[in-house]
Structures are given as structure tokens and as C-alpha cells.
């Protein structure tokens, strides 16, 4: 591995939708951070009227966050950083930092520095700690230019499961979101059945009145 290599650490949508050219992808983790859905989003997964909620990293001395790191095409360094500056910083409210990345597929590979993007408290979309039930309520109603907030949560959970990574915060939020959707579908189905029954009763009543006349 060359010291001048540029690596980007992904822990959210960059895991499955990086949007830039790369030479290599390695799964692993960083230390001292935990993933939390504490950042609002008015572009990618929501709007100004119905903001979404997306993941960021929060300092935690004993924490670990699993994801992947991309080694960027050397000819695309500036293009990639410009793209990420727009996507993560200008539109997302994130700031860039560096952290050691620990690959988990090769014990002989030394940890290396990677750029990561985190939302800092005080930015206009910062949410901070919140009840997962409340976060889920926002998730199920929000959609942005990159798709629904629901898909963001379930795609992130799917990526973690694919690589057998654990993240209770993500999996608990996903479970609450899916349960709320199940209840909504059930209520919608029940309302549809009731409506159909009412229509049949009205038709029956009209037929009876016609026969009496």
C-alpha cells in the first residue's frame, strides 16, 4: 500500500452508492466512533417540508463503526474530493476528518488513514439524540432526490448484514420502521375492506328500494 493512496471511509449511503471511481474496496472498521441517525437531510432523503434523517458518526471512546473504505483512482483525486465536498459537505452538512481504518479481511494489512465525513453539532440539519420511534416516524414519510428515507435505512441494514457486521442502532431503527409500515398496510387493508362492505350494503339497499317501488 502506498502512503500517497487516497482512501474514503463509507458508513452510510456511500457503502452501496459511492458515486465516484475507485480502484479497490475493503471492508473493515474505525475506532472511537459510533453510527447514529442524528442528522437531518433536506436533499438526498428528504425535503425542506419533510426532512429525512440519515446517519452520522458520534465520538465514543470504546466505539467501533463498521463499513468499507474505497481506494480512489489516482487520476480522479481532485474530481472525487470535489464531488464529495458537494455531496457530503455543501448538500449534507458534513465536515471531513481522518481516522485510522482497520481492514478485517487481511490481518497482515496495517491500518491506514482514510477520509470520513461527519455531521458536526450546530449545523442547520443537526438533530442530536432522539427516540428511535420518533426518528422512524420521520423516516417513513420522507423522500429526497436519491430516494426514500426508508430505502436508506433498509439498504444500510442490508449492507451490514451482508458482511455480518453488527449495529444495534441501525437494526433497531429498521425493525421499528418495518413494523410501522406493517401496521399502516394492515390498517389500509382493513379500511379498504370496510369501504367495500359499505358499498355492497348501499347497493343492496338500492336494489331493495327499487323492488319495493
Distance CA 142, CA 52 (A): 5
Catalytic residue among 4, 88, 131, 202: 88
Active site residue 4: no
Kindly tell me the burial class for residue 138, based on how many C-beta atoms sit within 10 Å of its own C-beta (0-12, 13-18, 19 or more).
buried
Judge whether 131 and 53 are in contact, CB under 8 Å.
Answer: no
What letters, b where the CB count within 10 A reaches 16 and e where it falls short, cover 51-86? bbbbbbbbeeeebbbbbbbbbbeeebeeebbeebee
Q: Retrieve residue 189's grid coordinates.
A: 387493508
Cell numbers for 207: 336494489
Residue 59 pairs in a beta bridge with: 33
Question: Which residues have CB under 8 Å from 57's CB, separation 6+?
Answer: 11, 33, 34, 35, 36, 65, 116, 118
Angle between helices 168-212 and 132-139 (to 10 degrees): 60
* Residues marked as catalytic: 88
Amino acid at each position: 500500500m502506498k502512503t500517497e493512496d487516497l482512501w474514503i471511509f463509507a458508513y452510510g449511503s456511500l457503502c452501496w452508492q459511492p458515486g465516484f471511481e475507485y480502484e479497490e474496496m475493503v471492508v473493515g472498521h474505525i475506532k472511537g466512533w459510533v453510527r447514529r441517525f442524528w442528522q437531518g437531510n433536506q436533499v438526498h432523503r428528504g425535503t425542506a417540508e419533510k426532512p429525512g434523517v440519515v446517519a452520522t458518526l458520534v465520538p465514543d471512546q470504546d466505539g467501533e463503526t463498521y463499513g468499507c473504505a474505497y481506494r480512489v483512482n489516482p487520476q480522479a483525486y481532485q474530481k472525487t474530493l470535489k464531488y464529495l465536498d458537494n455531496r457530503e459537505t455543501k448538500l449534507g452538512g458534513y465536515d471531513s476528518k481522518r481516522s485510522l481504518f482497520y481492514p478485517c479481511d487481511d490481518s497482515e494489512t496495517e491500518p491506514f488513514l482514510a477520509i470520513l465525513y461527519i455531521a458536526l453539532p450546530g449545523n442547520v440539519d443537526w438533530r442530536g439524540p432522539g427516540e428511535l420511534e420518533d426518528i422512524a416516524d420521520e423516516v417513513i414519510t420522507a423522500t429526497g432526490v436519491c430516494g426514500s428515507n426508508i430505502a436508506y435505512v433498509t439498504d444500510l441494514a442490508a449492507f451490514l448484514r451482508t458482511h455480518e457486521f453488527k449495529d444495534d442502532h441501525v437494526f433497531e431503527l429498521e425493525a421499528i420502521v418495518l413494523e410501522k409500515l406493517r401496521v399502516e398496510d394492515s390498517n389500509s387493508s382493513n379500511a379498504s375492506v370496510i369501504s367495500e362492505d359499505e358499498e355492497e350494503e348501499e347497493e343492496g339497499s338500492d336494489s331493495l328500494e327499487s323492488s319495493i317501488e
